[in-house]
Amino acid sequence: MKKVLQAALAIAILVMVPLYGNAQCKGFAKKICKLELTPYIHDGNYHAAVLVEGEEAELYKTFYSDQEYRIAICGSDALPPIEFKVIDANKNVLYDNKKNNYAKTWDFKLESSQQLKIYVKVPSSGASPDAIQQGCVAIMFGFKEK
C-alpha cells in the first residue's frame, strides 16, 4: 500500500511540475512580454511555453486584411535571442527576425485575410549538454484600433 501511495505521489508531482512551469510562463507573458505590444492592443491571448535551447515551436493564427498588427516574441533572460519567422500558406517567409538583428517585434498589415504560421526557435548556444538553458518563450499579438 505504501508503494502505491509513493507511486501516486510521484505521478502527481510529475504532472504538476509542467503545469506550474506553464503558469509561470503565462505570468512572464503578462508582466514582461505584453509591454512589447505598446501602443498596439493585446488580443487577449497568452501563448507561452518553457523551451530548451535548440527547441522549436509553431503557432498558427488568422490575420485579417486592412488591420495593423504587431507580433512580439520574448524569452527569459537565460536564453539566447529568440528567432522567429512568419510564413504564409504557400511557405513564403514574410518576415525573419534573424535578418533583422533578432528584433523582438514585427509590425505589418496584410492585403488579404490569411492564416500565417509563426515559427519560433531557441538557438543553441553551443554550450556543453550540462549547461543547456531553458526558459519561458512567449508569442504575443496586438492590433491597432481603427
DSSP 65-101: TT-EEEEEEEE-TTSPPPEEEEE-TT--EEEEGGGGT
- Print burial letters for 104-141: b (CB count within 10 Å at least 16), e (below 16): bbbeeebeeeeebebbbbbeeeeeeeeeebebbbbbbb
pLDDT tens digits, 36-62:
999 999 999 999 999 999 999 999 999
Whether omega before 39 lies within 30 degrees of 0, making that bond cis, reads: yes
**Among all chains, which residue has been given the C-alpha cell 528567432?**
83
Domain ranges of the chain: 2-143
Region 27-34: mean pLDDT is: 85
Q: What is residue 129's predicted lDDT score, i.e. its pLDDT? A: 66
pLDDT tens digits, 76-102:
988 999 999 999 999 999 999 999 999
What letter does residue 64 receive in the DSSP assignment? -
Q: What is residue 13's predicted lDDT score, i.e. its pLDDT? A: 39
CATH of domain 2-143: 2.60.120.380
Q: What is residue 10's predicted lDDT score, i.e. its pLDDT? A: 39
